[in-house]
Amino acid sequence: MEEGTGLLRLEAKSENIKDGWPRELDERLQRPINAIRLLETSLVRMAGINPDRIEFLLAEDENKRLKLADILREAAGDIPIESLATLRAVVVVDRYPIVRRYLDVVCSRPAITHSHTPVMSFTVLALPNGDSLLRENGGWGYHFHYSDDGKRRADILLTFSRDTKVKEKPVMWEPHAVKKADFEARVPAWGRGKRESVHITCLRDL
């Protein structure tokens, strides 16, 4: 196993993952998106805009759309629009036993999308780096959390290398939510048996 940088999840095309997931999972992932929709509605009302006119306003010329985005950002006040762009709806869908611990399979999708939350999506796009923020956070995907009993999570996550030249996808790890973690994973101290157990378990989802 290798330590990676910035490899937060293994992304896959929607048709390869989403269509194979049960409806219940899709509904659970939908809940955070519904919360963003409520935020959208609140911002529109606080900005004094008729919700029924939003689609019409978004279809206006570029200058008018940018003005609308400014109004919505001003209505947001202290809410950091940039951080909303990186939000993901996340749900644990399975747990695999490994040597002396477990790996939790975590599926995720963007909380802000053009199809589900068009107002927030447009407001983010109007930021100087908005397009790159949404593009970097796009797509369905999954990664692994390391836990001891399903309740206590370690300070790392695991995923696969994104290097397309690599024939065999190595399992990568990186620090994750260190301050909120329940215990230290101490990956460098893992022995050969533990590393092989983790690698084999992760590969079953490729």
Report the candidate in 39, 114, 46 with the shortest Cα–Cα distance to residue 75: 46
Surface-to-core class of residue 102, CB atoms within 10 Å of its CB (0-12 exposed, 13-18 middle, 19+ buried)? middle
pLDDT given for residue 24 in this prediction: 59
pLDDT given for residue 164 in this prediction: 61
Could you tell me the mean pLDDT of each successive run of 10 residues in the chain, 206 residues long? 44 39 63 80 80 73 73 75 78 87 87 80 80 78 84 88 66 88 93 90 76
d(CA 18, CA 58): 29
- Per DSSP, the chain holds a count of helices (H) and strands (E) of 8, 7
pLDDT given for residue 155 in this prediction: 93
d(CA 139, CA 101): 29
pLDDT given for residue 160 in this prediction: 78
d(CA 155, CA 3): 13
**Hey, which bits of 55-179 come out as E strands?**
88-98, 101-110, 140-147, 153-160, 171-175
Question: Where in the chain are the domains?
Answer: 2-203
The pTM of the whole model exceeds 0.85: no
